[in-house]
């Protein structure tokens, strides 16, 4: 076992079980469809340090086993309800900013905010308030 993951042995390979955080504000929002909640959960699992996830709609649809148009509609609904902000357009992979405070929690004592930057891979910056 490493960190918060459990290893599951499947034949000759080892699969690392993944977990993520799904805020109650999304999970229990009855105005959201179940597809929206599932799509948000996938995005939440893609967040590294901070609040930014970058993942293609095709990948989300394959992971969940739902149609790509259902994913697109769910993302639009999440944005309309204020749970995410979508950046980017066209044929490029979009960036999703998740608005829940769950993703802005302190990384360690003394750090006020941890932010993520999607421009160049997984990086984070710790910011102290004066």
CA distance 117 to 63: 24
pLDDT of residue 13: 52
pLDDT of residue 11: 53
Q: Where are the domains of the chain?
A: 21-127
Right CATH for 21-127 from 3.40.250.10, 1.10.10.10, 3.80.10.10, 1.10.760.10: 1.10.10.10
Q: Indicate the helix (H) or strand (E) that contains 61.
A: helix 57-64
Neighbours of 124 (CB within 10 A): 13
pLDDT of residue 102: 78
Neighbours of 28 (CB within 10 A): 10
DSSP reduced 3-state for 17: coil
Query: Exposed/middle/buried for 19, CB within 10 Å: 0-12, 13-18, 19+?
Result: exposed
pLDDT of residue 105: 58
- Name the token pair of 84: 């995410």
Write out the chain's pLDDT in tens, 130 residues.
344 444 444 555 555 677 778 899 999 999 999 999 999 999 999 887 678 888 899 999 999 999 999 999 999 999 999 999 998 877 778 889 998 887 765 555 555 444 555 554 444 454 445 5
């Amino acid at each position: 076992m490493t960190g918060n993951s459990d290893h599951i042995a499947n034949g000759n390979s080892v699969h690392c079980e993944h977990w993520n955080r799904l805020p109650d504000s999304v999970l229990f929002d009855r105005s959201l469809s179940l597809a929206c909640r599932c799509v948000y959960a996938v995005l939440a699992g893609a967040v590294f340090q901070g609040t930014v996830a970058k993942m293609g709609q095709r990948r989300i649809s394959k992971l969940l086993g739902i149609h790509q148009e259902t994913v697109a509609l769910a993302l639009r609904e999440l944005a309309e309800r204020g749970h995410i902000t979508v950046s980017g357009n066209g044929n490029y992979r979009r960036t999703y900013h998740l608005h829940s405070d769950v993703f802005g929690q302190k990384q360690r004592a003394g750090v006020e905010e941890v932010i993520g930057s999607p421009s160049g891979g997984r990086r984070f910056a710790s910011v102290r308030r004066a």
